[in-house]
Amino acid sequence: MESIRRLVLLALTGVFLITNLANAQDDQQGFISLDCGMPHNEPSYIEETTGLKFSSDSGFIRSGKSGRTNNEDPRLGMSNIKPYKYLRYFPEGILRNCYNLTVMQGTHYLIRAVFVYRNYDDLKQRPIFDLYLGPNFWITINLQEEFGSVDRFWRTDGKVEDIIHMPKSNFMDICLVKTGTTTPFISTLELRPLRDDTYTTKTGSLMLFNRWYFSNSESFVRYPDDVHDRLWDTYFSDELTQINTTTTVNTTNAFDLPQAIVSKASIPKDAGKSWSRRWSMQSTDDVHVYLHFAEIQALKPNDTREFSILWNEKTINHNYSPLEFMVDTVPIRTSTKCDDSCYLELVSTTSSSLPPSLNAMEVFGVLQLPQSETDENDVTAFKNIQAFYKLQKMSWQGDPCVPTQYMWTGLNCSNMLPSIPPRIISLDFSYYGLNGTISSDIQYLSQLQKLDLSNNNLTGRVPEFLAKLKLLTVINLSGNNLSGSIPETLRNMENNGLTLILRGGNKNLCLDPSCESEAGDGKNKKKWLVPILASAASVGITTAIILLIILFYRRKKRSSKDIRPSMVVNKRSFTYEEVTVMTNNFEKTLGEGGFGVVYYGNLINNEQVAVKVLSQSSAQGYKQFKAEVDLLLRVHHINLVSLVGYCDEGQHLVLIYEYMSNGNLKQHLSGECASSPLSWANRLRIAAETAQGLEYLHIGCKPPMIHRDIKSMNILLDEHFQAKLGDFGLSRSFPVGSETHVSTNVAGSPGYLDPEYYRTNWLTEKSDVFSFGVVLLEIITSQPVIDQTREKAHIGEWVGFKLTNGDIKSIVDPSLTGDYDSSSLWKALELAMSCVSPSSSGRPNMSQVANELQECLLSENSRKGGSQDVESKSSLALSTSFGPEQTPDAR
Ligand SMILES: *[C@@H]1O[C@H](CO)[C@@H](O)[C@H](O)[C@H]1NC(C)=O
Ligand SMILES: *[C@@H]1O[C@H](CO)[C@@H](O)[C@H](O)[C@H]1NC(C)=O
Ligand SMILES: *[C@@H]1O[C@H](CO)[C@@H](O)[C@H](O)[C@H]1NC(C)=O
Ligand SMILES: *[C@@H]1O[C@H](CO)[C@@H](O)[C@H](O)[C@H]1NC(C)=O
Ligand SMILES: *[C@@H]1O[C@H](CO)[C@@H](O)[C@H](O)[C@H]1NC(C)=O
Ligand SMILES: *[C@@H]1O[C@H](CO)[C@@H](O)[C@H](O)[C@H]1NC(C)=O
Ligand SMILES: *[C@@H]1O[C@H](CO)[C@@H](O)[C@H](O)[C@H]1NC(C)=O
Ligand SMILES: *[C@@H]1O[C@H](CO)[C@@H](O)[C@H](O)[C@H]1NC(C)=O
Ligand SMILES: *[C@@H]1O[C@H](CO)[C@@H](O)[C@H](O)[C@H]1NC(C)=O
């Protein structure tokens, strides 16, 4: 098979000299390179011949053991390439073992899996097993079929599989499935993001048959020569002659071909003949071919190279001429199958003086992936239930419902048609040793027909939310220790065909319908009011805007379980040891505040993070930590800084956030950054993005969240200067027992705090709108929020003062140098002033704010033909470098 030759050549890269290795590591953006089986405590390393950075796979799979090939191959040196020494094998008897990888939804990936057996287990038993992409069959890995002699065993003892695939969600499972008696294993797993405009298909994914470049050299080409790390194999035959050039070929077409490949081409040895190649490949579906051409001979004035391209004897192109010193790719995606063999032929036209030439060619078989993944909300709910009860089953890997033969235990699904995502229709956790209450996430399994939680140690009440599941026909709760009464709504469902089984155990459960009782006890909400120290309050045009260095805190207990599961949950709990590793023993501080220190860190997949270690005193009494964090982990919005994980181990409470490399808005407005000031378009965009994040907290979240601490310092900017709101949701669960915390800005910051909230202690979303208005004023004016040396100390008063005096021009930040669409600016100013209106009824809601800002942004962008925003964004990115104060702001 061709994949064997690929592997042999892969091994040969050991002797292939690579030119620009030094810069290589910087460009591996989005690459995932897993050295499977490498112990988790071994650090990632740079593979010498390619410069690729490999790391352990241990964070991506739960089953399997680490193995190692011992025998070296003196001729090929294959074993000397580090990534193929370790392997992960799966002797435990679990049928399906899956890697779960975090990917970019909708991006095309080249996915490569390598299997080097080399008798690692001393059994001399090369395995056969299946590979799956999510719920869909990919290919059978059969390491037995091609090997005969010992010699071949040594030379070609492995396989490389390569597919171009676009994941439909942010997670992707790649599974090894045991199909016989032999043990599946894997050596490396490599993912490379590709451009979306290159290898496209109407349906299915592209399974590589081969990727040839036509040269008589034996050099294998991959990263760093190929920026996408495609593996290019050479092909040559007696009928061909090589031509080559030292002139640089323009490779700026979408395929980013390496110079090493396009600087060589093949022509027929007999110039009168056509260029042809025939091969057989097993493919029941379509074959796609990509032909890469470049004219690499300096043509004389009377020379022409012109030929027809024939694919399986049908003419695709009648008179094709390669472009001079410029790559051109001809894709063949017509729905043609190869019957017995595939046949490509390039035939000179009569007017051509030169023979046809071809530089490189890729051949793919289309693999259909018909099976949909299980409904995402069901998967999320199930995983939350699993986490709630701390259930861990090794076999719970990959898609819960499909393929049906690997369906997870404890559930059953509807699997009507492959094109329809399966739904979880029954949950059977009988005798699962569950304790605690009945998980509220069960209510989000909206298609549930049967719920069996019998014979566990469940306590608490029979929850009312079960009545939301209208399709339920059986609820079996017998053999538990539930108490209280049965909700009436559930009783009513019994009349509509629900079988509710409660008898057996449950001694404290009142089954008598008459004992509708103390429902709602224990839910009384504690309200804490902790005023600390009052300071200057000044009166301006709007008498109600009051300077606050007074902080309020009202603790409002809410059920953390009322939240709807969002699209994707990436729930991650880390040990303190892992936190130590990810921060490299708390090496680099990003910021410091009342609740602890924020450190820079790196996750195992190289994702950068900001690690907030809560100080001992803040940690004390933070009983709700886990519940609150679970809630925050479920909040996902592009304009909210996501919580990636947490650590809750004894005294150690740690929050792990996504890293925001461009600091916070305040730094940019205050000129703290040595960069050029933000343009008006960028300011508007940041405001609009922030407004959308806040709108989501107010409206998109269930239950809605009030941020309570909107300020420019909490608006963070990622590497693309996209704005994200940080530190939401925490203030309400932090205890404010001691005054030390409050004096360091626990909730609400001076100048941003809503005066009405201060007066009435009645907190609504409109308090956030007020704070957002203050931020908008900062964006427009670049003035400090409070400045005692100004005519009016508070920014809202000051702007009002200027407006009433008709001194409009002096409001606007002079560093904008008049470079703005004034209508968008005045509209934003008007909006800001309405947000800081003293009475909450006079303020717009966040949806209105977000819409207005979007309109401002459109009008500003149309001023310079629409491209303004993008341009200023990239020029900004180039000219900016920032100080150490980064995400999320330490308070
Ligand atoms: C992926 O695997 C990790 C490590 O085993 C696990 O913690 C995480 O929950 C998994 N994520 C998903 C979405 O299954
Ligand atoms: C280029 O072609 C010439 C003549 O065919 C050959 O001698 C030479 O080795 C080739 N160079 C490379 C780098 O392949
Ligand atoms: C390559 O070709 C593109 C498209 O014609 C052109 O824009 C670009 O400047 C060329 N690059 C070089 C290095 O000549
Ligand atoms: C093309 O021009 C070269 C000289 O530049 C000449 O030797 C050759 O015969 C010409 N070929 C044809 C086909 O006209
Ligand atoms: C799952 O449901 C199907 C159809 O409703 C049924 O035939 C099958 O036996 C069930 N499987 C299990 C494991 O309960
Ligand atoms: C459930 O039991 C485990 C150990 O058996 C215990 O650690 C845990 O706290 C219990 N959970 C609840 C909610 O009672
Ligand atoms: C309930 O918990 C007790 C003690 O923790 C244990 O002995 C018993 O087996 C449990 N019962 C069930 C049904 O899991
Ligand atoms: C409910 O659970 C009990 C205990 O596991 C079992 O005996 C009974 O058959 C179950 N009833 C139904 C209808 O599933
Ligand atoms: C049931 O729960 C109560 C507390 O609600 C506890 O006192 C009792 O020991 C539990 N019974 C069993 C059998 O676990």
User: pLDDT by residue (tens digit) across 139-189?
Assistant: 999 888 754 333 333 345 678 899 999 998 889 999 999 999 999 999 999
Q: How confident is the model at residue 808 (pLDDT cuts 50, 70, 90)?
A: confident
Fold of 665-875: Transferase(Phosphotransferase); domain 1 (1.10.510)
Residue nearest to atom 10 of ligand 9 (CA): 481
> Of 785, 756, 780, which Cα lies nearest the Cα of 768?
756
Confidence of residue 411 (pLDDT cuts 50, 70, 90): very high
Query: Which residues contact ligand 2 via a Cβ below 6 A?
Result: 217, 242, 244
Pocket test residue of 32, 96, 100 for ligand 1, highest count of atoms within 8 A of CB: 100
Q: How far is CA 485 from the centre of its chain?
A: 44
Over residues 810-819, mean pLDDT: 89
**Structural domain boundaries of the chain?**
27-194, 211-367, 376-515, 572-658, 665-875
CA–CA gap between residue 64 and residue 67 (Å, rounded) = 9
Single pTM value for the model: 0.62
Atom 9 (ligand 1): residue with closest C-alpha?
A: 571
Q: Which atom of ligand 2 is nearest to the CA of 215?
A: 14
From residue 373, alpha-carbon distances to 63, 82, 153, 368 in Å are 22, 35, 38, 14
Q: Max alpha carbon distance in the chain (Å)?
A: 103
Q: Specify the long-range contacts of residues 827-831, CB closer than 8 Å, at least 24 apart.
A: 827/852, 827/855, 827/856, 827/859, 828/684, 828/687, 828/776, 828/779, 828/780, 828/852, 828/853, 828/856, 829/777, 829/780, 829/799, 831/773, 831/776, 831/856
- Tallying the residues shown for the chain, one arrives at 891
Predicted confidence (pLDDT) at residue 665 exceeds the cutoff of 50: yes
Residue 519 pLDDT: 40
State both tokens at 69. Answer: 């090939």
57 versus 595: the higher-pLDDT residue is 57
Ligand 6 proximal residues by C-beta, below 6 Å: 435-436
User: Are residues 204 and 227 in contact, defined by beta-carbon separation less than 8 angstroms?
Assistant: no
pLDDT above 60 (res 773): yes
- For 500-526, b/e burial (b = at least 16 CB within 10 A) is bebeebbeebeeeeeeeeeeeeeeeee
Looking at domain 572-658, what is its CATH homologous superfamily? Phosphorylase Kinase; domain 1 (3.30.200.20)
Question: Ligand 2 centre and the CA of 244: distance in Å?
Answer: 6
The pLDDT value given to residue 770: 95
In angstroms, the CA 175 to CA 97 distance is: 5
Protein residue closest via CA to atom 1 of ligand 1? 100
Ligand 1 centroid – CA 364 distance (Å)? 31
User: Quick check: CB of 437 below 6 Å from ligand 9?
Assistant: no
Higher pLDDT among residues 126 and 337, named by residue: 126
pLDDT at residue number 617: 59
Please indicate if the annotation marks 202 as binding a ligand. no
User: Which fold, 211-367?
Assistant: Jelly Rolls (2.60.120)
Alpha helices in 439-523 (DSSP H): 488-494
Output the pLDDT for position 390.
93
Count other Cβ atoms within 10 Å, centred on residue 340: 7
Whole-number pLDDT of residue 598: 87
- Catalytic residue chosen out of the listed positions 233, 630, 709, 768: 709
27-194 and 211-367 share one CATH topology? Answer: yes
* pLDDT at site 249: 96
Pairwise pLDDT comparison (684 vs 339), residue with the higher score: 684
- Distance (Å) from CA 301 to ligand 4 centroid: 9
Rounded Cα–Cα distance for residues 55 and 44 (Å): 4
For residue 250 and ligand 3, the question of a CB distance below 6 A is answered with yes
**Whose atoms come closest to the Cα of 216: which ligand?**
2
Question: Which pLDDT band holds residue 733 (cuts at 50, 70, 90)?
Answer: very low
**For residue range 563-609, what is the model confidence (pLDDT) as tens digits?**
333 323 344 788 888 899 899 889 898 877 546 788 999 887 788 99
- Name the residue with higher pLDDT: 613 or 150: 613
Q: What is the pLDDT of residues 272-307, one digit of tens each?
A: 899 999 988 876 788 999 999 999 999 999 999 999
Tell me the DSSP string of 159-196.
EEEEEEE--SSSEEEEEEEE-SSSPPEESEEEEEE--T
Distance in angstroms (rounded) separating the CA atoms of residues 711 and 749: 8
**376-515 to CATH, choices 3.40.50.970, 3.60.21.10, 3.80.10.10, 3.40.718.10:** 3.80.10.10
Which pLDDT value is given to residue 242? 94
**Residue located nearest, by CA, to atom 14 of ligand 9:** 481
Q: Is 473's C-beta closer than 6 angstroms to any atom of ligand 8?
A: no
CATH number of the 27-194 domain:
2.60.120.430
Q: How many angstroms is it from 254 CA to the middle of ligand 3?
A: 12
Q: Which residues contact 803 (CB under 8 A, 6 or more apart)?
A: 811, 833
**459 touches ligand 9 (CB under 6 Å):** yes
- 768 catalytic residue (yes or no): no
Q: Check pLDDT > 70 for residue 545.
A: no
Alpha carbon of 404 to ligand 5 centroid (Å): 10
Buried b or exposed e, range 57-91, using 16+ CB within 10 angstroms: bbbbbbbbebbebeeebeebebbebbbbbbbbbbe
CA of 426 to the centre of ligand 5 (A): 9
CA of 57 to the centre of ligand 1 (A): 12
Determine the atom of ligand 6 nearest the C-alpha atom of 435: 1
Residue of 247, 248, 249, 250 with the most ligand 3 atoms within 8 Å of its CB, for mutation: 250
- Which single residue is written with the structure tokens 């579906």? 285
C-beta of 454 in contact with ligand 8 (< 6 A): yes
Nearest-CA residue for ligand 8 atom 10 is: 476
pLDDT digits (tens, 9 = 90+) for 858-870: 888 887 654 444 3
Q: What are phi and psi of 633, to 5 degrees?
A: -65, -20
Amino acid at 619: A
Average confidence score pLDDT of the chain: 81
Taking CA atoms only, the protein residue closest to ligand 4 atom 6 is 302
Res 701: pLDDT:
76
Among the residue ranges 190-199, 306-315, 399-408, 748-757, the one predicted with the least confidence is: 748-757
Residue whose CA is at the smallest distance from ligand 8 atom 9: 476
Is any ligand 7 atom within 6 A of the Cβ of residue 703? no
pLDDT at 534: 29
Q: Which atom of ligand 2 is nearest to the CA of 264?
A: 14
- Which has the minimum average pLDDT: 161-170, 455-464, 538-547? 538-547
How far, CA to CA in Å, does 754 sit from each of 762, 836, 837?
10, 8, 9
